Amino acid sequence: MQFSEEKLAKVKEIIARYPEGKQKSALLPVLHLAQEEFGGWLSTEAMDYVASLLQLEPIEVYEVATFYSMYNLKPVGKYTFEVCQTGPCMLRGSDDIIEYIKQVLNINVGETTPDGMFTLKTVECLGACGYAPMMQMGKHYREHLTKQKVDEIIAECRRNAAAGN
């Protein structure tokens, strides 16, 4: 398990942001890189690799990786729908959106479709309350969700997957 040259250069650049000897500060950003690079989740090997890169004890990495909700410690589907369910989104009907996605994809919250395409998660407030209901998909937010919009997003994902993106 090894980062690409490009990613290793990025790691170096990140470490250089901090004073000498404070490379532990790079842990969160480097874990993000590792998750991107190694299939969307952090295996024990991936975390151990990050530990060795930053000269940390593996437990220091496990402690951090398990604390933050954005690190996946289990494999996830190609597309992860992270639907916000906190108050402001609830007021705008997020419960219905979650139910609808469950029904359309035929999975429960926390599950991945058998084809490995979609994972459904519920999350707590993502700071898009004025654009509710919403979900995060990868790097971006999908906002003002309606059932129709959910259908479109699912179709879009399938199209992209079929096109090999």
Partner 1 sequence: MAEEKKLFKVTIDNITIEVEPGTTILNAARMIGGDVAPPAMCYYSKLKGSGGKCRTCLVEVAQGSAADPRPMPKLVASCRTTVMDGMVVKNITSERVLDARAGVVEFLLINHPLDCPICDQAGECHLQDLSYEHGKAGTRYEFKRRTFEKHDLGPYIQLHMTRCILCYRCVFVADQLTEKRVHGVLDRGDHAQIATYIEKALDNDFIGNVIDVCPVGALTDRTFRFKNRVWFLKPVDAHRDCPKCAGKVTLWYRGDEVFRVTARKDYWGEVHDWICNECRFEKKKTSDWVIEGPTNVSRHSVISANHYVKKEQPKELLPEIIGRNPKLLMDIHDVSEVNKPTIHLSALPGPAHSDDFNNNGVSSK
Partner 2 sequence: MGRKLLLEKAHVPGIRNYDVYRREGGYAAVEKALKTMTPDEVTEQVKKSGLRGRGGAGFPTGMKWSFLAKPEGVPRYLVCNADESEPGTFKDRYLMEHIPHLLIEGLIVSSYALGSNRTFIYIRGEYAWIVDILEQAIAEAKQNGWLGKNILGTGFNCEIYVQRGAGAYICGEETALIESLEGKRGNPRIKPPFPAVKGLWDCPTVVNNVETLAAVVPIINLGGDEYAKIGVGKSTGTKLISACGNINKPGVYEIDMTISVEEFIYSDEYCGGIANGKRLKACIPGGSSVPILPANLLLKTAKGETRMMNYESLSDGGFQTGSMMGSGGFIVLDEDQCVVRHTLTLARFYRHESCGQCSPCREGTGWMEKILHNIEYGKGKMSDIDLLWDIQRKIEGNTICPLGDAAAWPVAAAIRHFRDEFEWHVLNRQECLTRNYGLANYATPLPITA
Binding site for partner 2 (CB under 8 A): 17, 19, 22, 24-29, 31-32, 54, 60, 63-64, 67-71, 85-88, 90-92, 123-132, 136, 139-140
C-alpha 160 chain-centroid distance: 18
End-to-end CA gap in the chain: 23
Nearer to partner 2, 86 or 113 (CB): 86
* 44-53 helix and 27-37 helix, angle to the nearest 10 degrees: 140
Residue 100 CB, nearest distance to partner 2 (Å)?
A: 16
Interaction partner, residue 59 (partner 2, partner 1, none; CB < 5-8 Å by kind): partner 1
Size of the site for partner 1 (CB under 8 A): 9
Structure-token pair, residue 97: 């959106």
| Cα 153 to Cα 155: distance, rounded to the nearest angstrom | 5
Nearer to partner 1, 27 or 150 (CB): 27
Site for partner 1 in 57-96 (CB under 8 A): 57-60, 62-63, 66-67
Site for partner 1 in 31-50 (CB under 8 A): 44
Contact yes or no for 41/23 (Cβ under 8 A): no
| Cα 47 to Cα 2: distance, rounded to the nearest angstrom | 11
Residue 72 CB, nearest distance to partner 1 (Å)?
A: 14
